[in-house]
């Protein structure tokens, strides 16, 4: 992820590199998200114009896929499993405690910019729940205290 802000020039270069592909919208969105860590609002009209589609269609795709963010994430991204198997072993209580201790809500970033918390609906660790993922690293059988300690680093 780049440390530079998403300028119109940078966005246009990423769009131009993908727009001639067959079905370019998703690859284009992925390249922008990878470059900037989110899909900036300024990208939507540029993408729509380049692909000759409506802004609403671009927005609809961005908002449909949970892994696309429209704002930059915190230094750490914490995903907590919300699937039934994890809920059965305390996942809801875990999530409540973590959100309360961090002072944030789902899909939000802590005030200090340290942690973005997102729900995920299965990490494949069903036998060892509750499960979570921090910065792409899966964790099984976690406690709220362990997760808070991990993101405090």
Residue 7's pLDDT is what?
Answer: 83
CA count, 13 A, side-chain hemisphere, 76: 21
Pairing label, strands 108-109, 76-81: unpaired
Measured distance CA(58)–CA(26) in Å, rounded: 10
Domain coordinates in residue numbering, the chain: 8-64, 76-151
Residue 143's pLDDT is what?
Answer: 95
Residue 95's pLDDT is what?
Answer: 96
Residue 1's pLDDT is what?
Answer: 46
Measured distance CA(64)–CA(84) in Å, rounded: 22
3 pLDDT higher than 70 = no
Average pLDDT rounded to a whole number, residues 81-101: 96
pTM (2 d.p.): 0.79
Helices (H) and strands (E) in the chain, counts: 7, 5
Determine the topology of domain 76-151 in CATH. Glutaredoxin (3.40.30)
Helices 55-64/43-51 angle, 10° precision: 120
Nearby residues of 66 by Cβ (< 8 Å), 6 or more positions away: 118
pLDDT, tens digit, 9 for 90 and up, residues 29-38: 999 999 998 9
Model confidence at 79, pLDDT cuts 50, 70, 90, reads very high
Measured distance CA(153)–CA(149) in Å, rounded: 7
pLDDT, tens digit, 9 for 90 and up, residues 13-67: 999 988 888 889 999 999 999 999 899 999 999 999 999 999 999 999 999 988 8
pLDDT, tens digit, 9 for 90 and up, residues 134-146: 999 999 999 999 9
Q: Give, as one character, the DSSP assignment of residue 113.
A: S
């Amino acid at each position: 992820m780049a440390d530079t802000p998403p300028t119109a020039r940078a966005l246009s270069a990423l769009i131009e590199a993908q727009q001639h592909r067959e079905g370019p919208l998703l690859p284009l969105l992925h390249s922008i998200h990878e470059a900037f860590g989110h899909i900036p609002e300024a990208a939507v009209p540029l993408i729509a114009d380049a692909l000759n589609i409506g802004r609403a269609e671009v927005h609809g795709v961005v908002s449909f896929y949970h892994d696309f963010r429209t704002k930059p994430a915190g230094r750490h991204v914490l995903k907590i499993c919300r699937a039934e198997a994890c809920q059965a072993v305390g996942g809801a209580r875990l999530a409540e405690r973590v959100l309360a201790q961090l002072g944030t809500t789902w899909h939000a970033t802590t005030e200090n910019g340290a942690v973005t918390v997102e729900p995920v609906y299965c990490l494949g660790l069903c036998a060892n729940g509750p499960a979570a993922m921090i910065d792409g690293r899966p964790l099984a059988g976690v406690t709220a205290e362990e997760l808070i300690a991990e993101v405090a680093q």
